[in-house]
Amino acid sequence: MCTIEEYFDNIFQDQEPKTLYEPILYTLKLPGKRLRPQLVHIAAEMFDGNSENAGLVASAYEMLHNFTLIHDDIMDKAEIRRGRPTVHKKWNTNVAILSGDALVVTALLQIHKLSCNPETILSVAKLFAQVSMETCKGQQYDLDFETVETVTIAQYLKMIQMKTATMFAGCLKSGGLVANADTESLQALFDLGIHLGIAFQLADDLLDVYADTEVFGKSIGSDIKDNKKTFVYLKALELSNETQAQRLQSLFSASNNMNEKTKFQEVKAIFDAVNVKQATEEKISYYIDKCFEDIDHIRVDEKKKNPVKSLIQQLKNRSK
Amino acid sequence: MCTIEEYFDNIFQDQEPKTLYEPILYTLKLPGKRLRPQLVHIAAEMFDGNSENAGLVASAYEMLHNFTLIHDDIMDKAEIRRGRPTVHKKWNTNVAILSGDALVVTALLQIHKLSCNPETILSVAKLFAQVSMETCKGQQYDLDFETVETVTIAQYLKMIQMKTATMFAGCLKSGGLVANADTESLQALFDLGIHLGIAFQLADDLLDVYADTEVFGKSIGSDIKDNKKTFVYLKALELSNETQAQRLQSLFSASNNMNEKTKFQEVKAIFDAVNVKQATEEKISYYIDKCFEDIDHIRVDEKKKNPVKSLIQQLKNRSK
């Protein structure tokens, strides 16, 4: 079986026009966690699925994920991704728009290479389109939240479910689909993806404030710098007294042009005072518990569930 | 059966987030020729296909087409489309990127609503992905041509085949697919789309110079203003003597900052002198003849071919 890097080389190397495919291969080869492909394989292996088929779906979801990164980086004006210049910085916005478009279409074509019965391929393809749609909607809500005054925690959780967790759910369920898993297990895999995806994003929000920069691999405090209304911020607001809340809101207002480091320190001091780290960790634990309940509904031998359980533990304790 | 406008209203009205769907509905409701939906319906009706299914595919291709317009308009910095501000002008680039993404994904989801056997839905979905890929590649070649010194006529024809004609081919073949057309007819429909699409684009190139502005509905000369290496320009170069060729190349160089109107008049004078209008019309006729050969290979009663034949005649004589 090919590694995912070999897949990408096979698909994109020597393809014409080079101007379209070079930025795609550059993006796919940036060092990443390859979490979404892992999820597809873990689900497929639980049901002894064909690894070639799982590999095709895994590559499709990694491409979908990278398509969202390329386009989101334009929208967020992000200059660095995984330690390297973003596509729109290294090339330009036009290149980033069109390479992103070509990448998501290539992902689709991967699904059409599956050697399964037509019903299964259709299910995988339809799910892929539904996941892509939810991801777009989630990104739009994320952009909208930048300009509205108040975001509730419920709205925030709905947004990250759409933007991040649905793709996790799509990966796990698609792995099950190509391995002919039963209906109940497919639903459990989907639910597991939702809960795991939310826990993953909450952990990400927390790492932006509390990570060890050397392990995390990216600079911390970027959400604070960009006034992002993450779970950590929203929960801290909820836990604050009136003075702390007013100060936090003023620190996160667009008109505030304080020095980046001073702002980070003052925000973190309030976060510490209201103990938002612990509150966020409790919320993460709540979703991790849900994951284990979902796993109970997957109808395979308990031994087969070990890989997914250990992945969840890893993500729970993630430091990067 | 729903009209295509009703389809769009049903799909997009009252959908959340509004910030994502308003620009989509705005784009889809701009007055357009609805040529791609027509092609789907004409092919499906030739084979007595179910009109609901044809309508779904027709709406999908119209959405794909509009997705390319929204993203291309960003890349081309176009401010006006069909007499109205483009999405990135009326809103902003971020909105245009994400609405475009959501639009192509919605198109995909339309295909998954088809009531056909799974093999047919898969064929339509795969063809849709292939067409999307070719369209992206064509757009990339088009962008690349802006910065290269020499483009051959063969390269140009390949580019417009990818960027424009493949979508015509996809529409006609998909219409045949949902109507269970035989393999030979499906191939003939695809070939017809390619030849018709090339003829359509060459006519478009010609209209940019020779249209009656009042009928054409958009300002003429924009290709000349943007130094676009269209068929008309490339053919004129081929027909020019050395002095004319040098002058044309210098008029089309990026460093030329001549008044727009004066430039148009001087370019048009050379075009007239080398009689490029007639040469282009001959090329269009060549592709129209090919269309009629393709129609001969469609295996239905001759009477059933009248609608497609009259559409081709219309496009041949198009003035807008």
Which residue is closest to B136 within chain A, CA to CA? A102
| Closest by CA position to A15, among listed A28, A2, A31, A3 | A28
Q: Which residues of B19-54 are buried (b: 16+ CB within 10 A; e: fewer)?
A: bbbbbbbbbbeeebeebbbbbbbbbbbbbebbbebb
Contact A225, A260 (CB under 8 A): yes
Give the pair of three-digit tokens for residue A177: 């689909």
**pLDDT tens sequence across B123-136:** 999 999 999 999 99
Around Cβ B91, how many Cβ atoms within 10 Å? 17
What is the structure's pLDDT at A215?
Answer: 64
Give the pair of three-digit tokens for residue B286: 């060549």
Contact with chain B for residue A120, Cβ under 8 A: no
Around Cβ B183, how many Cβ atoms within 10 Å? 9
Q: How confident is the model at residue B301 (pLDDT cuts 50, 70, 90)?
A: very high
Cα distances (angstroms) measured from residue B16 to each of A141, A144, B21, B126:
9, 12, 7, 29
Judged by CB atoms closer than 8 Å, whether chains meet at A122 and B121 is answered as: yes
**pLDDT tens sequence across A79-100:** 988 889 999 999 999 999 999 9
Contact with chain B for residue A139, Cβ under 8 A: yes
Give the pair of three-digit tokens for residue B97: 């990127």
**Across A259-277, average pLDDT:** 96
Q: How confident is the model at residue B320 (pLDDT cuts 50, 70, 90)?
A: low
Rounded to the nearest angstrom, the gap between the alpha carbon of residue B132 and the centroid of all alpha carbons in its chain is: 12
Closest chain A C-alpha to B192 CA, distance in angstroms: 24
What is the structure's pLDDT at B319?
Answer: 62
Closest chain B C-alpha to A127 CA, distance in angstroms: 9
Contact with chain B for residue A144, Cβ under 8 A: yes
Residue with tokens 């497929």: A44
| Closest by CA position to A56, among listed A102, A104, A7, A103 | A7
Residue among B94, B106, B133 minimizing CB distance to A133:
B106
Q: What percent of chain B has pLDDT over 70?
A: 97
Q: How many residues does chain B have?
A: 320
Q: Inform me whether the pLDDT recorded for B217 exceeds 80.
A: no
Residue among A101, A140, A143 minimizing CB distance to B136:
A101
| DSSP H/E element including B81 | strand B80-81
Which residue is closest to A113 within chain B, CA to CA? B126
Q: How do beta strands A84-85 and B80-81 pair? A: unpaired
Give the pair of three-digit tokens for residue A71: 């386009």
Best of A136, A143, A146 to disrupt the B interface by mutation (most B CBs within 10 Å)?
A136
What is the structure's pLDDT at A83?
Answer: 86
- Whole-number Å distance between alpha carbons of B152 and A107: 32
For residue A84, the SS3 value is strand
Q: Inform me whether the pLDDT recorded for B153 exceeds 80.
A: yes
* Residue A23 burial (10 A CB sphere; 0-12, 13-18, 19+): buried
Task: Please give the model's pTM, rounded to 2 decimal places.
Answer: 0.96
Contact B186, B192 (CB under 8 A): no
Best of A137, A146, A159, A163 to disrupt the B interface by mutation (most B CBs within 10 Å)?
A137
- Whole-number Å distance between alpha carbons of B213 and B270: 20
Q: Which chain B residues contact residue A105 at CB under 8 A?
A: 129, 132-133, 136
**pLDDT tens sequence across A106-148:** 999 999 999 999 999 999 999 999 999 999 999 999 999 988 9
Contact with chain B for residue A215, Cβ under 8 A: no
Contact A136, B105 (CB under 8 A): yes
| Closest by CA position to A128, among listed B11, B111, B85 | B111
Closest chain B C-alpha to A183 CA, distance in angstroms: 19
Closest chain B C-alpha to A147 CA, distance in angstroms: 12
- Whole-number Å distance between alpha carbons of B60 and B7: 10
**pLDDT tens sequence across B4-55:** 888 899 899 889 999 999 999 999 999 888 999 999 999 999 999 999 999 9
- What's the whole-number average pLDDT of chain B? 94
**pLDDT tens sequence across A201-223:** 999 999 999 987 666 666 688 89
| Closest by CA position to A35, among listed A240, A239, A200 | A200
- Whole-number Å distance between alpha carbons of B211 and B222: 12
| Closest by CA position to B264, among listed B217, B226, B304, B316 | B226
Between A154 and B318, name the one with better pLDDT: A154
Judged by CB atoms closer than 8 Å, whether chains meet at A17 and B137 is answered as: yes
- Whole-number Å distance between alpha carbons of A206 and A234: 12
- Whole-number Å distance between alpha carbons of A290 and A281: 14
Around Cβ A184, how many Cβ atoms within 10 Å? 11
Residue among A98, A119, A141 minimizing CB distance to B75:
A98
Around Cβ B79, how many Cβ atoms within 10 Å? 11
What is the structure's pLDDT at B215?
Answer: 64
Between A319 and B186, name the one with better pLDDT: B186
Give the pair of three-digit tokens for residue B81: 């489309």
What is the structure's pLDDT at A284?
Answer: 97
Q: Chain A window 73-112: which residues touch B at a Cβ cutoff of 8 Å? A: 74-75, 93-94, 97-98, 100-102, 104-106, 108-109, 112
Closest chain B C-alpha to A152 CA, distance in angstroms: 16
Contact A302, A220 (CB under 8 A): no
Q: Inform me whether the pLDDT recorded for A242 exceeds 90.
A: yes
Contact with chain A for residue B143, Cβ under 8 A: yes
**pLDDT tens sequence across A36-69:** 999 999 999 999 999 999 999 999 999 999 999 9
**Across A281-299, average pLDDT:** 97
What is the structure's pLDDT at A217?
Answer: 60
* Residue A187 burial (10 A CB sphere; 0-12, 13-18, 19+): middle
Q: Inform me whether the pLDDT recorded for B194 exceeds 90.
A: yes
Q: How many residues does chain A have?
A: 320
Q: In chain A, which residue ranges form alpha helices assigned H by DSSP? A: 4-12, 18-28, 35-46, 51-75, 87-90, 93-111, 118-147, 153-160, 166-178, 183-210, 213-216, 222-225, 231-239, 242-251, 260-273, 276-296, 306-316
**Across A291-311, average pLDDT:** 97
